[in-house]
């Protein structure tokens, strides 16, 4: 956190300050709550919209009674809620969505309703209320079956899941709203984000919290497809930094998209070994069938992000794993002592 704060304070030509009113949709969630922490640190006025289906009030609890913070329980699928909440908003960080590729294969209508229609509601509410800029979460999944590595922003393939398609739709709406209405936006294509506060329960848990949960208990891990499958795992502080940069510099752009990753390929086997090494437990893994909708390899080119936003990763993979493990172990101690975080 200290590294992140120092980097944020070092950004020149600051366009967000204590007079800037920023709406964060999905702000009680994993990534959103970390972004809110940094916006509050900068002294911004922050409004958080979240339906609390996957978000937790405990993630933003320390801000609930601050004068420059407001929490509103609501859903982006309700257009009137979006219209009302966007009044007097300067900028929006739009994160509210349903994630997870495998789950989207079972519920394509739900994913379109939340991720596409909900985002359209936010864009239209922003237009009607004169919002200056929207920074929204996209995904590396939009690259689909395009085989080129590393992934470059202007080379995408056919999306391989309803989730990926929904994120692609949002990018297209962002471009259309700029062409037709002049609404400025920055889309950030996240690559496998991990870190403290990431959900660790349920059938569709991301790979790192799933591995951590099992390895810390010396239980065996299931790997889908192959231990050689690779990802560009990105610690959450890097994502927060990219969002702050986009808020600072997005006003000079029109409707751009940028990769947010580390530019480093880590296999699932290497991920398993690093968590096991740092935790010091005895576990093994078993390889099972490949999951439908998943891709085999993903790696970000961050050249465009570096050149235009000034983005470079501030936390390396192994450092991020350490911070995540420290958080996980602290949470387990709280559970042992009967202290709830919900």
Per-residue pLDDT of the chain (342 residues; tens, 9 = 90+): 667 877 777 675 567 888 899 999 999 999 999 999 999 999 999 999 999 999 999 999 999 999 999 999 999 999 999 999 999 999 999 999 999 888 999 999 999 999 999 999 999 999 999 999 999 999 999 999 998 999 999 999 999 999 999 999 999 999 999 999 999 999 999 999 999 999 888 767 899 999 999 999 999 999 988 999 999 999 999 999 999 999 999 888 999 999 999 999 999 999 999 999 999 988 899 999 887 777 889 999 999 999 999 999 999 999 999 999 999 999 888 777 776 555
Q: Does pTM top 0.75 for this prediction?
A: yes
The runs of H, that is alpha helices, within 10-161 are: 30-41, 79-85, 101-106, 108-111, 118-129
In the structure encoding, which two tokens stand for residue 296, read together? 């085999």
CB 29 within 8 A of CB 95: yes
Identify whether the C-beta of residue 140 lies closer than 8 Å to the C-beta of residue 261: yes
Q: Count the Cβ atoms, other than its own, within 10 Å of residue 284.
A: 11
**Which structural domains are found in the chain, ordered by start?**
1-195+234-263+295-315 (3.40.50.720)
- Residues ≥6 apart with Cβ < 8 Å to 150: 232, 263, 299, 300, 301
Give Cα 234 distance to the centre of its chain. Answer: 10
Contact call for residues 50 and 27 (beta carbons, < 8 A): yes
Interatomic CA distance for residues 196 and 331, integer angstroms: 10
CA 205 to chain centre: 14
User: What is the rounded distance in angstroms from the CA atom of residue 295 to the CA atom of residue 316?
Assistant: 23
Q: Which of 240, 264, 120 is nearest to 188 (CA)?
A: 240
Residues 6+ apart with CB under 8 A from 183: 123, 126, 127, 131, 134, 177, 255
Angle between helices 236-249 and 2-9 in degrees, nearest 10: 10
Tokens of 152: 């470059």
């Amino acid at each position: 956190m200290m590294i992140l704060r120092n980097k944020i304070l070092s950004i020149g030509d600051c366009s967000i300050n204590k007079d800037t009113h920023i709406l964060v949709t999905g702000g009680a969630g994993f990534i959103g709550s970390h972004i809110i922490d940094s916006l509050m640190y900068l002294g911004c006025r922050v409004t958080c919209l979240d339906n609390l289906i996957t978000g937790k009030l405990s993630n933003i609890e320390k801000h609930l009674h601050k004068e420059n913070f407001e929490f509103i329980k609501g859903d982006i699928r309700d257009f009137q809620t979006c219209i009302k909440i966007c009044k007097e908003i300067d900028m929006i960080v739009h994160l509210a969505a349903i994630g997870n590729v495998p789950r989207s294969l079972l519920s394509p209508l739900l994913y379109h309703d939340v991720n596409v229609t909900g985002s359209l509601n936010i864009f239209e509410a922003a237009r009607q209320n004169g919002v200056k800029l929207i920074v929204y979460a996209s995904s590396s999944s939009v690259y689909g079956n395009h085989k080129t590595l590393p992934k470059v922003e202007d080379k995408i393939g056919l999306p391989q899941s309803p989730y990926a398609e929904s994120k692609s739709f949002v990018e297209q709406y962002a471009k259309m709203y700029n062409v037709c209405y002049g609404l400025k936006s920055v889309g950030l294509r996240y690559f496998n984000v991990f870190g403290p506060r990431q959900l660790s329960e349920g059938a569709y848990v991301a790979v790192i919290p799933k591995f951590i949960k099992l390895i810390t208990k010396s239980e065996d891990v299931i790997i889908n497809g192959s231990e050689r499958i690779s990802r560009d795992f990105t610690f959450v502080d890097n994502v927060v930094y990219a969002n702050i940069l986009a808020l600072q510099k997005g006003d000079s752009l029109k409707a751009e998209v940028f990769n947010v990753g580390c530019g480093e390929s880590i296999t699932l086997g290497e991920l398993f070994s690093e968590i096991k090494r740092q935790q010091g437990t005895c576990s093994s893994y078993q390889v099972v069938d490949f999951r439908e909708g998943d891709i085999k390899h993903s790696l970000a080119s961050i050249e465009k992000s570096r050149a235009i936003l000034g983005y470079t990763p501030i936390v390396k993979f192994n450092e991020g794993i350490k911070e995540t493990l420290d958080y996980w172990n602290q949470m387990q101690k709280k559970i042992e002592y009967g202290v709830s975080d919900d």
